[in-house]
Structure 1
Amino acid sequence: MTAQNGRTYFLAARLLPAPRRRAVHALYAFARIVDDIVDEPGDDAGAAILAAVEATTFAALDGRRDSADPALPAELIRVLPAFVDSVTSFDIPHPYFRAFFASMRMDAPDSPDYRPVYSTMSELSEYTYGSAVVIGLQLLPVLGVSGTVEEAVPAASDLGDAFQLTNFIRDVGEDLDRGRLYLPSREFSAFGVDVPLLEHGRRTETVDIRVQRALAHFIALTRARYRAAEPGIALLDARVQPSIRTAFVLYGAILEQVEDAGYRILHRRVTVPSPTRLRVAIPGLVKSTTYGRILTGRTDSRVRRP
């Protein structure tokens, strides 16, 4: 599931030691399944299914084996054991998942908490805390830190925000088709941009200069989050730093692809080219393997340099 839907995460996770890699895959797959529930077009039972998934999830985390609700997606049933094992093994705080479900309800059209449009960055931050920030916080126990977890929380939060804002910029056209606008409308309006103008650009495969300027503004805001997050990579366990650095660089490269496309992204999704992904990932892979340690001379006394 991670390989099919989160290529950047999948490539970065391959640099992790196996137990941590499996946990990242389980956490990603779980979040993806829940996110797909609220993104399913035309589904007027999303909130009810979401409630069933939430109840089943916390029953499993609490060690209860409740009978499976027939409304539950089959994919969830398959992923849930790995998810619970990962949360338990790495002692991930359960309130993070409460916050995650709260944000998912904001995405469910039939939920009273549904928010199709966000007006300000402050409003959006309420959503991104549960949809992205807590994802970064969940990963801290998995990845390990050189000091205390508390020291790494601000940078992990900024990185989760940066990844989510990157998604919003990349997917603004697709989100319009679902009746959503995550990037704050007031920020857009400062550049003379409204939803009809964005929808016009998607229909006609054009980009208005005002939209270009607004997207450039959002990219600048997102890069500021990346800059704030970057020092936190050094706080992580040295063995996982190449993986997170790879994800950091590759996700940031999506913003470059938006710029290189002349901001013509309303009608298509930009991606980081495969050669670029490999060029970024291979040095991290070398550093994170025994072979890499041999090549770089970082070996123990039992290994000779060739």
Structure 2
Amino acid sequence: MTDDPTFVPAPVRSQALASGPVDARADLAACKQILAEGSKSFAAASLLLPRRMRGPAAAFYAFCRVADDLVDFSADPSAAVVELAARLDRIYAAARAHQRNPQAVDALGDPVDRAFARVVGEYAIPRGVVDALIEGFAWDADERAYETMDEVLGYCARVASAVGVVMTAFMGPRDRRTLARACDLGAAMQLTNICRDVLEDADRGRLYLPAAWLRERGVDPVHFVAAPRDYVGDQRITGAVEAALDVAEGYYRRADAGIGMLPWDCRPAIRAASTIYADIGRVIRERGCDPLRGRAHTSKGRKLWLLACAWVRRTPKRVDAGQRDAPAIPACDFLLEDFE
């Protein structure tokens, strides 16, 4: 949610771009516009993607953005999830039919759906991975509670690691070891988001830090969500945030160890995404891990510097074989089954 009166949810923007003749290039342009307006960090990192990947990445991101906003801004989130599943049915049916009839995708009424259907067919993206993403949105709609870090990682697997798996498939690798490192990066980035957005999530009645961690520190999770501003500077909350950042940092290191397994031309963008998001964690730590001191972000200049560094040094100098070859996060293991 947002208090910005000028904000227009992605599904509304997508429909507004649906007028006119159906054209694959116009559909992709609509996706790129949604990408540019929806995530500055992702858009910045995508500038380093090889040209062959920019279209598929934009189409997939736009679908994710539309799906997320459809749930977040719906008066009935549960009904929105059902609508999303039906929408995905149509996308995959069109992708299958597209192999026999190139015009099959044109029957879809939304430019994002059409662009994503073409990508699904071209890259043979398993339905189960995208279903996992929709399940994550369903968990949000159900206001699911997360007691332990393992449960939080189950959420991260659906809303973030699934994205990493699809992006890696676009790049080419589909082996378990490489996909496991993509899951690590997705989990690390989502944990960073969770730490950055603690106050915003509490204002929406949500808590993604493990509830058990708050109880262990003497904080009632229900009271925290109801009155988060009562905990400004509270070391029990800052301690929980710091602990979550520590978990994220471990997964960033494992993900970095896998960057060398990616195609050479894809490494700068993934390196940039990792360092830009990890840098948000640095800012949070500099603020004492207090989520009530405002939303942490990196400056435009800092992003440009990190982008340049990622381009120059696209592969980390030191790679720990144990981290590179580590098994997938157990909560993410199911995402890899359709690739075996």
TM-score (norm. length: structure 1): 0.81
Counterpart for residue 125 of structure 1: 153
Q: Distance in 1 between matches of 2:233 and 2:204?
A: 20
Q: Of 183, 188, 194, which aligns to 1:157? A: 183
SS in 2 for 1:221: helix
Q: Of 184, 204, 216, which aligns to 1:190? A: 216
Q: Of 60, 63, 68, which aligns to 1:27? A: 60
Counterpart for residue 297 of structure 1: none
SS in 2 for 1:28: helix
When residues 66 and 10 of structure 1 are mapped into structure 2, their CA distance, relative to the original with a 3 A threshold, is closer
When residues 247 and 176 of structure 1 are mapped into structure 2, their CA distance, relative to the original with a 3 A threshold, is same
SS in 1 for 2:291: coil
The total of aligned residue pairs comes to 272
Q: Distance in 2 between matches of 1:56 and 1:158?
A: 29
Aligned counterparts, 1:136-175, within 5 A: 136-145=164-173, 149-175=175-201
Q: Which amino acid aligns with 1:136?
A: G
Q: Is the 8 A contact 1:171 1:269 kept in 2?
A: yes
Q: Distance in 1 between matches of 2:241 and 2:217?
A: 10
* Stretch deviating more after TM superposition (162-171 or 136-145): 136-145
Q: Give the superposition deviation at 1:52.
A: 1.7
Q: Of 307, 326, 330, which aligns to 1:281? A: 307
CA deviations over 1:231-273 (Å, ceiling 9, x no partner): 1111000001011001110000010010112223225211111
Does 2:246 correspond to 1:220? Answer: yes
Q: Percentage identity across aligned positions?
A: 30
Q: What's the RMSD between the two structures over aligned residues?
A: 2.4
Q: Give the superposition deviation at 1:209.
A: 1.6
Aligned counterparts, 1:213-292, within 5 A: 213-266=239-292, 268-285=294-311
Q: Of 36, 58, 69, which aligns to 2:89? A: 58
Counterpart for residue 176 of structure 1: 202
When residues 68 and 206 of structure 1 are mapped into structure 2, their CA distance, relative to the original with a 3 A threshold, is farther
Q: Distance in 1 between matches of 2:267 and 2:277?
A: 15
Q: Which amino acid aligns with 1:130?
A: R
Q: Which amino acid aligns with 2:217?
A: F
Q: Is the 8 A contact 1:116 1:179 kept in 2?
A: no
Q: Give the superposition deviation at 1:280.
A: 1.0
Q: Distance in 2 between matches of 1:232 and 1:149?
A: 12
Q: Distance in 2 between matches of 1:103 and 1:241?
A: 27
Q: Distance in 2 between matches of 1:240 and 1:66?
A: 28
Q: Of 36, 40, 59, which aligns to 1:3? A: 36
Counterpart for residue 126 of structure 2: 93
Does 2:112 correspond to 1:84? Answer: no
Q: Is the 8 A contact 1:159 1:229 kept in 2?
A: yes
Q: Which amino acid aligns with 2:127?
A: H
Counterpart for residue 6 of structure 2: none
Q: Is the 8 A contact 2:105 2:114 kept in 1?
A: no
Q: Is the 8 A contact 2:106 2:114 kept in 1?
A: no
Aligned counterparts, 1:189-208, within 5 A: 189-195=215-221, 196-197=223-224, 200-202=227-229, 206-208=232-234
SS in 2 for 1:266: helix
Q: Which amino acid aligns with 2:89?
A: F
Q: Distance in 2 between matches of 1:26 and 1:286?
A: 27
Q: Distance in 1 between matches of 2:305 and 2:66?
A: 30
Q: Is the 8 A contact 2:209 2:240 kept in 1?
A: no
Does 2:80 correspond to 1:49? Answer: yes
Q: Return the structure number with greater helix share.
A: 2
Q: Give the superposition deviation at 1:217.
A: 1.0
Listed as ranges, the gaps of 5+ residues in structure 1 are 70-75, 109-113, 289-306
SS in 2 for 1:179: coil
